Structure formats: structure tokens, C-alpha cells
């Protein structure tokens, strides 16, 4: 890989073109900043240089600050590793320098890259260049003057929107807003930028210092109103995250006390935020997601993925139609097989409705939707399976049915065809037991709704070939999922880790804790919905079917509650029939149903676990801990058994598959943030009070005793039992 460097070429026209080079996206490594300072100072002192153009190598300006530096800061707690860019380089050397500078941007101009461009005196862009400040998505704020200069160029409302959402805009919109001075064809970019820089030097064009502008800010009272509204929105949309409000405070500082004071406050707040738990969690998830693409003995043995052009899906229900939607949107031809014309028609219509929904929400263009419609076909038998590259079985969780399907597809599909199951719980060795092509049997576990949720859990058995795994990983990436490869066991990695989640909630309900309070505390922690509303949405049949699998696999640590059976007996089935713990009416927000309380009381009477027959007294924090510590405990068993390649894979899977808050870093990372010692002591106390359901695992006990993080790689004794 090319070494990060900064080059400078001075043309006969007197323009110094300074280029940063750090492929593939010209990330702003520490040596880039040092090189920029050196070259800028050299250009300032040279008599043959009239003006400067700043650009990036290889058709990209810059993807932003090198976040490997954040990782180093998090490991060392040393903020002095961060370079002084904002005041020293961008403000003093670039913006207040004696020679005008123009940024020539194309491809990507994000984060620190855009902030460097904002420090120049004009910005020329190639068409469709991405411009954005996504720093809040990593738990920090723009730290090189972006909070001050962007509002001064495009106005406060749009600047706040760009920073709060971390969403980029295109250069065409940037030109309309005043962020970009001109959009020109890529081949003319440098020529126009050079001339523009000379025009500023010779006073034919204005020499604009962004930090000194106030014309787009509006009056102080208008600015206060905009900021007040933004704060209100942020409190609803970004709960538990400090960076959004901190960013608004820094913007306000600059408006009230001037841009330079804003820059000084921004630099200080940036350092505080880098060391926050939120930044640590978000940066961890960022790197953890990258690491999922490295699977030992699969991605490192020289294999190449084979093309998958045609996929058959057996079962056109909610999951099957969702998977089909994902595939056709990525130009993979799909055959949906159903058992009768009515089910088949329903499945095809669901795929079409999914696609139309994307068009309606402006996430897909009509011509691409039309192409997707043409890529799906319905069948009632196996006659068209002779040339498929992969089959995904997506029928109900019924072992004999799944086994028969695998016997049938092995006979009719070509010998290279991957035989995949979308089971969420059942051991793949059981499903593929009666097939002879064990090396082609694999799990492709999508999460519902499959065309929306970003995780693809790939389950390998001891016999699954590296080629089949690699092929499915490639399909996952093609359809814009994040593939995480895991070992085979009941529930696999994600559902296995989270199976105590609903049971903990039911345990608390049977101890007398209000179910709506439980849901509220889990939402307050950062999950989108609580465990009882989740049961309502998934349907009680799913919970009962998967519960049976876990009861037979892990009988010693199951909590059996009569609650779901009582709800079903009373004619409730959650959202499916509008009645569960909540009442569901079309077009209305779900609301608690008081008539469910006698059913919960009946469950409490039958389980009879309330101490002295009275509801327990419990704090909000204890509610969260009693629900999530058993999940961390099960994650420890998953790690100990080698079900995942690395602990961070389980973090990514928990965030993308179970909507665990990304700013908490994933389930294992959060466990380490809380501390293995505290989790172990709490579980031991509850297990003494309430029994085996809370019993700490050996892995957790060892880690707590030795002070070793849960995420540290397992010892060799554990690795020898690995399911990977």
C-alpha cells in the first residue's frame, strides 16, 4: 500500500498544486497533516507561488480523518495523539495565510476532508461529489472548524441537518446552497481551480474567509429559534448520545461569541467526546463490522467466490418474500416456489409491494423497480431448479418438513448449487441429516423484515465447504447485507445469545414488575421497542416454537412462564389480531391494553415466585440489568464454545440483527463497559434468590475472577471445542 504523503507541484502560472496521497480514499493520517503544514508554509514563502490549489490523489479528495487514530486514543486514553489541525493548520496557516487557496474536490469530500476544503477561499467540484460531515456517527463532532464554517456558508438550518444526520449531499446541491463555487467536468477541475485561485490573487474574484462571514447566519434571535428546535428534535431522535447536543452548543458559541471562539470551543469539546463511552462504542462497531469480512480458512486460502445469478426460494411468506426482494433489487434472478397458487400469488404480490414501497419512499427509481419486477418468477414444482446456483429454504420451523425439502432439492439441483436454510433456531445438522451433499448445506439466516434488516448470519456446520461459505458471503455483500459467519448450534449466535431476553422479561413480570415499565426502561436504554411489544410484533406462535427448541437444548437454564399460553387462550395474538400486551389499530400508535393485566396476574399466581406473594421492589437500572445481564451471560457461553470467530462479530450481529444500540458498542463491548465483575456478582445474587436461570457461566466467572475482558480471545482449551 502506498505510503501516506503530500506532494506539491508549482506550475508556470504560479499556482502550487498541493495533493494528498493516501489510497484508497486519501484518509487524513497524521503524516498527511504534517505534510500539508510543511508544503503550505513552503508555498507561502516561495516568491514564484501566487496561489494554491488543494486536491486529492486518484479522483477522490478525501474520505476524512483516519479513524485508526481514534482507536489508538481509545486504547491509550491519550488525546495528545490527535493533531492540532483546527487552529494551527486550517485557521492560521490556510484560511489566514497570505496566499489564496482553492479546493478542487471530486469523488469524496467528507469529514476532515470537507473541513480542509472549508478552510480554503473557494471550492470547485466535479459532478456528483459527495460532501458531508459524518463525525457524529462516530460519537464526536467535526473537529477542524466544520461546526463554524459550514453554517456560515450554507445557513444554519441546512448545516445543522447535515451534521445531525451525518448524511452527505451532492456537489450539485452544494453549489445551490453556496458551499461549492462551481461544478465543472472532472477533466477541467484542476484547470478551473487554478484559474480561480489566480483570479482571487489578482482581486478579480473575492477572497472569502468562511470563518469571517455572517451574511448566512441571520439575526441572533432567528439563530436561537433554529437551535432551540434542533435541540428538541435531538432529544427525541438521539437519546443517550452526548455528541448531538454538544455539537449544537459549539455552533451556538460561534454565533454568539464569533467564529474563532467557536473554533476554540470545538477543539476542546472534540477532545472530551473522543474519550466518551459513546465514541468508543461507535468506533468499535465501525471496526468490528470491517473485521467480519475476515474468516480464517475461508477468506485467506486463495479461493474466489463463484457467481450466483439465479436463486430459488422455497416459501413465499414474510421471510421468503423479503429475501426475494433483497435479491432482485441486486439483479439476482429469483424463483419463488409455493405449495398452491393462492400462497404463490400472495408471495409475489408481497415482493411487488416491498419494491413499490421503496419507490414511494424515494429510495428506488421507477426504472430500477420495473427491472426488479421482471427478475422474479413463481413456480409450484421443482422443474425450474435445474440451473439454480443456490436454494434458500424459508418455510415454517418444522423439522420433518425441512428435512424432506433438503432431500428433494438435492435431487433436482445442479451439483454446484448451495443448499441453504433460513431457519432461525434449528440445528443445521438435523435439517441436512438425510442429504449426502453435507458440504453444500449452510444456514442463511436473514432477520425480519429481510429486505430491510442489514444482517445476514451465515451458519456453517463442520462439513460446510469453505467455497460455499465464501459464495454466500459474496451474495450477502452483493445484496448490501453485512455477512457474519458463525458456528452451528441451536439458535446459532444471535438468537442463541438473546434467547434469555424475553425470558428475563417474563421472569420480572412474574415477580410483579409492571410490563409497561419494563418496556419503557429497555427503550430508554436504547432498543427501539421493549421485550413485550417485540413479542406482540413477532407473533406468539414464533415465541412458542423457538421456546421449545431452547427448552430441549438448554433445559437447565430455562424459565417456563405460562404467560404466552394464557394470552393465546384469551384470544390474543399480538399485532397479528390487534390484541396483545398492547392494542393495535391501523394508523394509530400501539397503546397499552389494561384488560391484559388480569391475565398477567393469573400468570403470577400460577408461577408463584413473588417473595412472600408480594411484587418485588426494583430500580430502573436493575430492570435493565436483570433483562440484559442474562443475555451477556449467554454471550459468554457462545464465546466459550467458539460459535463466533471473534467477540466483535457478536457485537456487530447484536447491533444489526437485534437493534442493540450501536453507541453502546454491541452486547459484549457493553458487558465489558459495565464490567464482568459487576455482572457476575449480580447474576450470582439473583441465582441464589431465584434459581438457575440467572446462574453465571464458567466463562463469566473466570473472566470476573481474573479481571480479563469478556472480549479477549478465548484460551486454547476453549478454541479446541470451537464450532468454527
- Could you tell me how far CA 310 lies from the centroid of its own chain? 28
Q: What is the DSSP letter of 611?
A: G
User: At 579, which helix (H) or strand (E)?
Assistant: none
| Cα separation, 485 vs 465, whole angstroms | 13
Helix (H, G, I), strand (E, B) or coil at 54: strand
Side by side, which strands form the sheet with 376-379?
376-379, 333-337, 310-314, 390-393, 418-421, 441-446, 455-459, 482-486
| Cα separation, 212 vs 95, whole angstroms | 10
| Cα separation, 139 vs 434, whole angstroms | 50
C-alpha dihedral, 568 to 569 to 572 to 577, nearest 10°: 90
Q: Across the strands, what pairs with 486? A: 459, 644
| Cα separation, 317 vs 176, whole angstroms | 46
Q: What DSSP assignment string belongs to 501-550?
A: HHHHHHHHHHTT--HHHHHHHHHHHT-SS-HHHHHHHH-HHHHHHHHHHH
| Cα separation, 578 vs 573, whole angstroms | 7
Side by side, which strands form the sheet with 169-170?
108-110, 130-132, 169-170
**Contact in structure between 617 and 267 (CB atoms under 8 Å):** no
> Which three-class secondary structure string do you get for 106-147?
CCEEECHHHHHHHCCCEEEECCCCEEECCHHHHCCCCCCCHH
The residue among 640, 656, 658, 308 whose CA lies nearest residue 484 is 656
**Radius of gyration of the chain, Cα coordinates, nearest whole angstrom:** 29
**Omega into 24 within 30° of 0, i.e. cis?**
yes
The residue among 146, 142, 132 whose CA lies nearest residue 62 is 132
Q: Where are the alpha helices (DSSP H) in 365-493?
A: 366-374, 399-412, 428-431, 466-478
Buried b (16+ CB within 10 A) or exposed e, 430-459: ebbeebebbebbbbbbbbeebbebebbbbb
Distances in Å between the Cα of 350 and the Cα atoms of 373, 526, 670, 703, 707 are 11, 31, 37, 48, 51
The residue among 577, 322, 572 whose CA lies nearest residue 444 is 322
**Contact in structure between 128 and 185 (CB atoms under 8 Å):** no
Residue corresponding to grid cell 483570479: 199
Helix (H, G, I), strand (E, B) or coil at 228: helix
The residue among 237, 37, 259, 275 whose CA lies nearest residue 151 is 259
HSE at residue 513, side-chain half, CA atoms within 13 A, is 25
Neighbours of 274 (CB within 10 A): 23
Buried b (16+ CB within 10 A) or exposed e, 69-78: bbeebbeeee
The residues annotated with a catalytic role in the active site are: 115, 135
Q: Interior CA angle at 324 toward 322 and 325, to 5°?
A: 65
Amino acid at each position: 500500500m502506498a505510503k501516506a504523503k503530500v506532494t506539491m507541484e508549482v506550475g508556470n502560472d504560479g499556482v502550487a498544486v498541493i495533493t494528498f496521497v493516501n489510497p484508497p480514499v486519501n484518509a487524513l493520517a497524521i503524516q498527511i497533516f504534517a505534510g500539508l503544514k510543511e508544503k503550505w508554509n513552503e508555498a507561502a514563502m516561495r516568491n514564484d507561488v501566487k496561489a494554491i490549489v488543494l486536491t486529492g490523489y486518484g479522483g477522490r479528495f478525501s474520505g476524512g480523518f483516519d479513524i485508526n487514530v481514534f482507536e489508538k486514543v481509545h486504547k491509550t486514553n491519550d488525546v495528545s495523539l490527535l493533531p492540532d489541525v483546527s487552529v494551527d493548520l486550517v485557521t492560521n496557516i490556510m484560511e489566514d495565510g497570505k496566499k489564496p487557496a482553492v479546493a478542487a474536490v471530486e469523488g469524496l469530500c467528507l469529514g476532515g476532508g470537507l473541513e480542509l476544503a472549508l478552510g480554503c477561499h473557494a471550492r470547485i467540484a466535479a459532478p456528483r461529489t459527495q460532501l458531508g460531515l459524518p463525525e457524529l456517527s462516530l460519537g464526536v463532532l467535526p473537529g477542524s472548524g466544520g461546526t463554524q464554517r459550514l453554517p456560515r456558508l450554507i445557513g444554519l438550518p441546512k448545516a445543522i441537518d447535515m451534521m445531525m444526520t451525518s448524511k452527505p449531499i451532492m456537489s450539485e446541491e452544494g453549489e445551490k446552497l453556496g458551499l461549492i463555487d462551481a461544478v465543472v467536468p472532472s477533466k477541467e477541475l484542476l484547470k478551473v481551480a487554478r484559474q480561480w485561485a489566480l483570479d482571487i490573487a489578482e482581486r478579480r474574484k473575492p477572497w472569502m474567509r468562511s470563518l469571517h462571514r455572517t451574511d448566512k447566519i441571520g439575526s441572533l434571535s432567528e439563530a436561537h429559534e433554529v437551535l432551540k428546535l434542533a435541540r428538541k428534535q435531538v432529544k427525541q431522535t438521539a437519546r443517550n448520545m452526548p455528541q448531538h447536543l454538544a455539537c449544537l452548543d459549539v455552533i451556538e458559541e460561534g454565533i454568539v461569541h464569533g467564529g474563532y471562539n467557536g473554533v476554540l470551543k470545538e477543539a476542546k469539546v472534540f477532545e472530551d467526546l473522543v474519550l466518551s463511552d459513546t465514541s468508543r462504542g461507535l468506533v468499535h462497531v465501525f471496526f468490528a463490522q470491517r473485521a467480519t469480512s475476515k474468516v480464517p480458512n475461508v477468506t485467506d486460502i486463495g479461493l474466489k467466490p463463484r457467481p450466483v445469478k439465479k436463486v430459488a426460494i422455497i416459501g413465499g411468506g414474510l421471510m421468503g418474500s423479503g429475501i426475494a426482494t433483497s435479491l432482485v433489487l441486486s439483479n439476482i434472478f429469483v424463483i419463488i416456489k409455493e405449495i398452491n397458487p393462492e400462497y404463490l400469488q400472495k408471495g409475489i404480490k408481497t415482493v411487488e409491494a416491498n419494491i413499490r414501497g421503496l419507490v414511494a419512499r424515494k429510495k428506488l427509481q421507477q426504472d430500477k423497480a420495473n427491472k426488479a419486477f421482471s427478475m422474479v418468477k413463481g413456480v409450484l414444482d421443482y422443474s425450474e431448479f435445474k440451473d439454480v446456483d443456490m436454494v434458500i429454504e424459508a418455510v415454517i420451523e418444522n423439522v420433518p418438513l425441512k428435512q424432506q425439502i433438503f432431500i428433494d432439492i438435492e435431487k433436482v439441483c445442479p451439483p454446484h448449487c448451495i443448499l441453504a436454510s433460513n431457519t432461525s433456531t434449528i440445528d443445521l445438522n438435523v435439517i441436512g441429516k438425510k442429504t449426502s451433499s453435507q458440504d453444500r448445506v449452510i444456514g442463511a439466516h436473514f432477520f425480519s423484515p429481510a429486505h430491510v434488516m442489514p444482517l445476514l448470519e451465515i451458519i456453517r456446520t463442520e462439513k460446510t465447504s469453505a467455497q460455499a461459505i465464501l459464495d454466500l458471503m459474496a451474495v450477502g455483500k452483493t445484496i448490501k447485507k453485512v455477512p457474519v459467519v458463525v458456528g452451528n448450534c441451536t439458535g446459532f449466535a444471535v438468537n442463541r445469545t438473546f434467547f434469555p431476553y424475553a425470558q428475563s422479561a417474563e421472569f420480572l413480570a412474574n415477580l410483579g414488575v409492571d410490563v409497561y415499565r419494563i418496556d419503557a426502561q429497555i427503550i430508554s436504554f436504547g432498543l427501539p421497542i421493549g421485550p413485550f411489544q417485540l413479542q406482540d410484533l413477532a407473533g406468539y406462535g414464533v415465541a412458542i416454537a423457538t421456546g421449545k427448541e431452547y427448552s430441549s437444548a438448554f433445559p437447565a437454564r430455562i424459565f417456563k412462564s405460562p404467560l404466552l399460553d394464557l394470552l393465546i387462550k384469551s384470544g390474543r395474538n399480538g399485532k397479528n389480531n390487534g390484541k396483545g400486551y398492547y392494542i393495535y389499530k391501523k394508523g394509530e400508535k400501539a397503546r397499552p391494553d389494561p384488560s391484559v393485566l388480569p391475565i398477567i396476574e393469573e400468570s403470577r399466581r400460577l408461577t408463584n415466585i413473588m417473595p412472600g406473594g408480594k411484587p418485588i421492589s426494583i430500580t430502573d437500572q436493575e430492570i435493565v440489568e436483570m433483562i440484559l445481564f442474562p443475555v451477556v451471560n449467554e454471550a459468554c457461553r457462545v464465546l466459550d464454545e467458539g460459535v463466533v470467530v471473534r467477540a466483535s462479530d457478536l457485537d456487530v450481529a447484536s447491533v444489526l440483527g437485534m437493534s442493540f444500540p450501536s453507541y453502546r458498542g454491541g452486547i459484549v463491548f457493553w458487558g465489558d463497559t459495565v464490567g464482568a465483575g459487576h455482572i457476575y456478582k449480580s447474576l450470582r445474587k439473583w441465582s441464589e434468590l431465584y434459581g438457575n436461570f440467572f446462574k453465571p457461566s464458567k466463562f463469566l466467572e473466570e473472566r470476573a475472577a481474573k479481571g480479563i475482558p469478556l472480549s479477549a480471545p478465548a484460551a486454547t482449551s476453549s478454541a479446541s471445542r470451537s464450532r468454527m
